[in-house]
Chain A
Amino acid sequence: MASQEQDPFAGGQGEEGDDFELMAPLLVAKLQEAGISAQDTKKLADAGFHTVEAVAFTPKKTLCTIKGISEQKADKILTEACKMVPMGFTTATEIHSRRSELVHITTGSTGLDTILGGGIETGAITELYGEFRTGKSQICHTLAVTCQLPVSMGGGEGKCLYIDTEGTFRPVRMLAVAERFGLNGEEVLDNIAYARAYNADHQLQLLVQASAMMAESRFSLLIVDSCTSLYRTDFSGRGELSARQMHLAKFLRTLMRLADEFGVAVVVTNQVVAQVDGGQFAVADAKKPIGGNIMAHASTTRLNLRKGRGTSRVCKIVDSPCLPEAEAIFAINANGIGDPEEMKE
């Protein structure tokens, strides 16, 4: 993409130095320069806020609980503190340079990796949806192995956490994939933490354990296969619709927090529902992913899978913040996901 054009960021050296310097924490007494009285800064220090940073990031309610700090004073203190401390705003330039170091986990198929910009993105939620036999679980099984590869080979160098709700977990598939990449089958299986969820609440609770495990050792992938099937049975009817969506929203927000905090890639699979009433869409046999608007907005990237000819499948990017709409063909082979035969020459 950027090969033929000039790198727009070249030639900018020397300007960025000043913007990104790290500052040592400022003592709270520094607030006196801004007009806060010495007594007030002493009260802050006594309450446990010793640096200006600590003060700037606390909510106003907490500051008001300190004896002797009225609401107006807290307001003033916070205004001054936020002026002194960089409040976490970063420029897009900095983020762009950070993103070039982002790890992508290869899916095993070069076509798919290309349209995804290198593979499944870490730190974001990717949703796969499609009918039955389109390859959703197969991709998950392959990813569970490739995430353990070193980064130089396109992997994530971390363990995998697999939450299964439909009972489709087959370790024997993973052994086949491991052979393909030259990894030891036993170790590969050891690095995959597996849990079976039995209802929607249990599914949510598993995430609590997941975050505990992620804090202890390095995980690079969290798979939920499938995220919505339990909701379909646990909540039924229009009456429970809002309860279902609230629960789903909470589950997805927890997933997002895990992705953010630990930098893991999160892959969820979703089921589809057929549009029986037709309405305006009677032309194509349209299938919509379930979960409604909550699901749609929570996932960063959505991939639509459908069956191609023979063992080949077609994957299309439906919703992505930065990738254009594109299609890729991949195949389900004996050793996992790969390129379809004809492309192998």
Chain B
Amino acid sequence: MSFIIPSIDQLDVSKELIEAVNRSSLSTSSILLTPLPRLAELLKVKISTAQSYVRQVSHAITPSTKRLNEVYDIESGPSRLPIDNQGGEDGNTDLGGKGKGKGRDDERRRGKWNSTGDDGFDKALGGGIRRGCLYEITGESAAGKSHLALHLALSFQLPSLSSSPGGSLILTSERELSTDRLVQLGKHLLSIHERDSLENGEIRVKNLLDNVLTNRVGDVDALEHALNYAVPAILESRLSTDTITNANPLKPRDESTNSRSGSIGSSSSSSSATSSNIRNTIGQGKTILPIRLIILDSITALFRGGSTTDEKPTAPSSISLTERSKRLCIVADALKSLAVKYDLAVIVINQVSDVFNKQPNSNPIMNLSQPTSSFTQTQPFTGIGMKRRSLSNGGAGEEGENDIPMLYKTQSRWFSGESDSLKKEASLGIVWANSVNVRIMLSRTGRRRLINQIDLKHKKRRTILQKQEEEEERQLAIDNSLADVDVEENIKATLIRKLHVVFSPFSPSSTIDYVITSNGVHSLADSHKAIDMTEVVKKKREKERIRKQNEDEDEAEGEYNGNGVGGFGNRSGTRDDEEDDGDGNQGKEDWDEVFDDFGELPDEFWNGTYGLDGQIEGGNGSEPGNDTRSDRFSNNRLDYTSINGSNRISTNGLEQVSEPGVKSLETGSAAD
């Protein structure tokens, strides 16, 4: 629902009212707010007529209310299966494309939900992407945000993934759309979800690209102009093509009419007819679908670049920040009203900023000057284990030390996307955070794993010893002609990325791991973990309390227990409090995940040809083998130690003794 009140001629009121208003040029709000005698005077009518006018207008403006069971019917459609039944199956991403029964399709195509095409994501998001809502995808650079948006722009068009497929509108602010990747993704998505149509030639990749419209918006003014005028014009024009059948309600959804429930019901029951109709229309000459997704990539660039009219760019002042907040609200409102009116989903891509720990402040006077709400002055607020530390502590610069409840820093941990493993928060502050419905944070975990690119099966990294054994086994198998030789090229050290649903009205807060392969975005099976923020906060309190205790003890003995070394407890950096299982063990299966964010480890490491004491298997000593290694790695000083410590690869052939500081990498429980 929008703040914007429509003008009188857009409302459903009697003709005479419209004429009267036009004669006296009153606006809608003044009709409602002017006292009756004055209104009758202005409109030159009797008081009773004026009264009926006011009644008509307020009736027309009020959104219609629906009963809850009507809403439920709209939501769940004919198949009343609750959403988590989907997870009852193996929950793996079904990449084969076969075995997709009709039941599965129906679950996906339900009401206002558009499936993303990947079961893991659908589960994490509570069913997929929901039309009528404003989504935000945020994350640091190279996290995969634009890529995910492209994937969704294509998956929204597939009839098997939603009851109301449609094209997308991409507004870019930084760079032009990258279409090569769209073509690649399109091919793969079609081959998985619409294999029959692809083979019949009903849908082609070109048809998918025809339904992706794009435009550049250079600054906020251009964006507002586009959202108010250009975009509605495009949306309207694509609704009125006559090749879309009547089964899809085409009229923009007015806030006062209630026509959706009936038509949705009928469309679901005749869903097969609808989708085949759409397939036909897509295949034929006219390939126009209504727009069901608007993507804005990215909104931060519009607000961060600074206006080009400024002579000298200065740091943001409070005036410019309030100006920014105002415009953000206007933009968010325009997007949400478009989403509701035209039954589409809006996805906005945001960037991140760094989170800094507060500077250690030894001056207690400074703490007094921090604004606190008067409530906390009079009573210590003890909710969720937060305790007010005494001011004499002087703020040791840790989170959780001065936990004054109403500060942005305390509140933001619930919605900013910041987590233990990721010291970044979504940009544009609290105003924007309150404007979006769902916030999704993407990040690179930095860990790499050997993964078969086709079926996403995990492959263990081989060491030299194992490799010899495997070779022998394989030789045996070949001899007995039992072998099924692995396709080696498909196995790559793939970076694992994390999708974190920070907040959403449709699903609990959770994370799920995924990878990007040449075939698109795929979530990894069994990686979906729910997060319980209150537990996280409690655990952090405990840890700090214990650490503080230890510190106090150690101080007495004069030992320094710095933050840097003791602070991190794990190598990969993501096995932290957010795991709900409570045990701090790193699972056995993770021992060959290595932290390698930019892929700087050489192939030999993954192939297992880089063995003990830095010898390359099969290399002669005289060859540039030795020089290669030392030259290549002299800068990096890499020291790979696995959990069980059986491999120790070191540079320059020297064994590196692990120091006490480094030992904490292995959570103290590993060998050595």
Contact = CB atoms under 8 A, between A and B. Distances in A.
B564 interface: yes
A92 B316 contact: no
B306 interface: yes
A282 B665 contact: yes
A195 B609 CA distance: 49
Interface in B377-436: 421, 424, 427
Interface string A294-315: 1011101010101111100000
A217 interface: no
Interface residues of A, number: 75
A286 interface: yes
A88 B209 contact: no
Given A8-B187, A131-B635, A325-B599, A87 B215 contact: yes
Contact of B232 (A79, A302, A322): A79
B306 A253 contact: yes
Nearest to B574: A280
B306 A95 contact: no
Contact of B179 (A81, A96, A238, A283): A96
A93 interface: yes
A298 B179 CA distance: 19
Contact of A297 (B237, B306, B351): B351
B595 to A, nearest CB: 5
Contact of B598 (A247, A304, A308): A304
Interface string B623-644: 0100110011001111110000
A87 B233 contact: yes
Contacts of A293: 140-141, 351-354, 424, 427
A321 B225 CA distance: 27
Interface centre among B209, B229, B631, B665 (most CB of A within 10 A): B229
B33 interface: no
Contacts of B595: 280-281, 283-284
A88 B229 contact: no
A99 B180 CA distance: 9
A15 B568 CA distance: 60
Nearest to A134: B635
Given A59-B221, A89-B214, A285 B638 contact: yes
B304 A242 contact: no
Nearest to B359: A238
A246 B313 contact: yes
A39 interface: no
Interface stretch (B170-178, B244-252, B536-544): B170-178
Given A9-B206, A325-B599, A89 B180 contact: no
A250 interface: yes
B204 A12 contact: yes
A243 B305 contact: no
A96 B204 contact: no
B313 A92 contact: no
B274 interface: no
Contacts of B305: 249-250, 252-253
A9 B207 CA distance: 9
A283 B215 contact: no
Interface in A66-81: 72, 75, 78-79, 81
A8 B213 contact: no
Contact of B518 (A8, A89, A124, A324): A324
B206 A296 contact: no
Contacts of B183: 8, 96
Contact of B237 (A83, A88, A95, A296): A83
Contacts of B212: 91-92
A99 B142 contact: no
A167 interface: no
A92 B234 contact: no
B186 interface: yes
B230 interface: yes
B182 A327 contact: no
A59 B225 contact: yes
A249 B313 contact: yes
Contacts of B635: 131, 285, 306-307
Contacts of B529: none
Contacts of A8: 183, 186-187, 204-206
A99 B183 CA distance: 12
A48 interface: no
A91 B314 contact: no
A280 B573 contact: yes
A23 B137 CA distance: 38
B182 A92 contact: yes
Interface in A246-280: 246-247, 249-250, 252-254, 256-257, 277-280
A318 interface: yes
Contact of B215 (A9, A89, A250): A89
Given A83-B236, A87-B226, A93-B209, A316 B599 contact: yes
10 contacts: A79-B229, A90-B215, A91-B210, A91-B211, A95-B214, A281-B595, A297-B174, A302-B141, A310-B631, A322-B178
Given A296-B140, A318-B142, 7 more contacts: A96-B182, A96-B209, A99-B180, A242-B316, A250-B305, A278-B565, A318-B598
Q: Which 9 A-B pairs have the closest CB atoms?
A: A296-B141, A280-B573, A8-B205, A319-B142, A87-B230, A96-B179, A321-B178, A92-B212, A322-B178
